[in-house]
Amino acid sequence: MLSHYNIISGIIQTCTFDSVSRKADGIDTQVMLGVLPFSHVFGLMLITHLGTYRGDEIIVMPRFEFEPFLAAVSRFKIQQLPIVPPIVIQMLDRRELCSKYDLSSVRFVYTGAAPLGKETVDDLLSVYPKWRLGQGYGMTETATVFIQSSEHDTQVGTTGSLLPASKARIVDPDGREITEYEKPGELLIQSPTVSLGYFNNPKATAETFFEDGNGRWIRTGDEVLVRMAESGNEHFVVVDRVKELIKVKGHQVAPAELESHLLTHSAVSDCAVIQIPDARAGEVPKAFVVKANHAYQSDEELARDMQRYVEEHKARYKWLKGGVEFIDAIPKSPTGKILRRKLRDREKEARKSRGAKL
């Protein structure tokens, strides 16, 4: 349940945060593209509410289609481009088509809804070196982002800094507060944008939200760490979903870490990692991989090669002991989030058919 107070607070917080870089660049208003669905909090808040509040010109597309998207950027001289990772991937996969359109007006690309890997960021900036690329991190339960990149303080691999009027705590599995840099734990957030709770669901509300002497907090369910950026500002790095962490003999393994590594393998087009049960280790990682078009080896040879690729660079407990399975496409939401539940369901059905214990 989001209140008017939540929404208005989010607009003012983000506008205040952005005002520093806008003032430095002499920008009062700018042209932005409304290609994201307004039914999603990312499009609703960043484009509809925030853009309107600032007086920006918003070019709204009725639906996303790749070439009309490029044409709109070129025709209307779009300056700020709020998009999601799947659009970035398409731009990299279809570079020849992109080169036919003048995208030089773009000055800031803002991505959210799902993480954008370092390799993808590097690839995009190699094609468009004059672009600034930032990320934001928020939740539907917080009405909007509470962490985001400043246009003048972007660092690959981080999602930026805490917005004004927000507080953050990072805690370990026992609830102890973590104060060191580069040490991951679950992120707790206090902000005027933290929602009232879940409608008619007091159990879920009690599990996710809590109050203490410092106010109302939300347990994000995300594992993050704080990193000192080159600018001297503290940046947040999202490691993974706490509930999606794989626990191998007591060690925690982040699927996103293994996915990022596998994506640097020349035969991997896309991938996702989940946990599967193991009698000795409790859980072990398993990778689902979409092969690159040019991959010529047999599935068996490729799977072993990818397992070796992980073994050569990662600690033993992070090895793909659950194996590698090749599939046609990784299931994802419209905003690009990996739908691991579907992969877990697929794995359960496969294990049942083999007569394996779950």
Gyration radius of the chain over CA positions: 21
CA trace torsion 246, 251, 252, 254 (10° rounding): -80
Alpha-carbon gap, residue 129 to 5, rounded angstroms: 39
The pTM of the full predicted model, rounded to 2 decimals, is: 0.71
Which pair of structure tokens corresponds to residue 127?
A: 């094609």
Q: Are 343 and 272 in contact (CB under 8 A)?
A: yes
Q: Comparing 79-83, 160-164, 214-218, 273-277, which segment has the lowest mean pLDDT?
A: 214-218
Q: Among candidates 256, 247, 221, 261, which has minimal Cα distance to 338?
A: 256
pLDDT-based confidence at residue 335 (cuts at 50, 70, 90): low
304 has a pLDDT exceeding 90: yes
- Across all residues in the chain, what is the average pLDDT? 89
Neighbouring-strand partners of residue 275: 285
Q: State yes or no: pLDDT of 356 exceeds 60.
A: no
Distance CA 152, CA 323 (A): 42
| Strand-pair category, 185-190 with 167-171 | antiparallel
What residue segments make up the domains of the chain, in order of their start? 4-156+164-241, 245-354
pLDDT tens figures, 317-327:
999 999 999 99
**Residue 63: is its pLDDT beyond 50?**
yes
Q: Is the per-residue pLDDT at 171 higher than 70?
A: yes
Torsion of CA 328, 333, 336, 337, to 10 degrees: -100
Report, as an integer, the average pLDDT of 17-24. 90
pLDDT at 239 over 90: no
β-strand partners of 156: none
**What tokens does 106 get?**
């773009």
Answer CATH for 4-156+164-241 from 1.20.1420.20, 3.40.50.12780, 3.40.50.720, 1.20.1250.20:
3.40.50.12780
**CA–CA dist 146, 93 (Å, integer):** 31
Residue keyed to tokens 């007591």:
250
Confidence class for position 248, pLDDT limits 50, 70, 90: confident
Q: Say what the pLDDT of residue 113 is.
A: 64
User: What pLDDT, on the 0 to 100 scale, is given for residue 84?
Assistant: 83
CA–CA dist 202, 316 (Å, integer)? 42
The answer on pLDDT for 357 being more than 90 is no
Residue length, the chain? 358
pLDDT for position 250: 66
CA distance to 94, 212, 219, per residue, from 188 (Å): 39, 12, 5
Q: What are phi and psi of 76, to 5 degrees?
A: -95, 5
On the question of pLDDT at 299 being above 80, the answer is yes
Nearest Cα residue to 72 out of 50, 102, 92: 102
120: DSSP letter:
H
Using CA atoms, how far apart are residues 166 and 76, in angstroms rounded to an integer?
35
pLDDT per residue as tens digits for the range 257-294:
899 899 999 999 999 999 998 877 778 999 999 999 89
The superfamily in CATH containing domain 245-354 is: ANL, C-terminal domain (3.30.300.30)
346 exposed, middle or buried (CB, 10 Å; 0-12, 13-18, 19+)? middle
pLDDT tens-digit readout, 77-134:
999 999 888 788 889 989 999 999 999 999 999 987 666 777 788 889 999 999 998 8
Residue 139: pLDDT band (50, 70, 90) is: confident
Provide, for the chain, the percentages of residues in helix, strand and coil under a 3-state DSSP scheme, each rounded to the nearest 5: 35, 30, 40
* Res. 306: pLDDT tops 90: yes
- For the ranges 23-32, 100-109, 237-246, which has the lowest average pLDDT? 237-246
Percent of the chain with pLDDT over 90: 55
> What backbone phi and psi angles, to 5 degrees, belong to 25?
-95, 0
25 against 271, higher pLDDT: 271
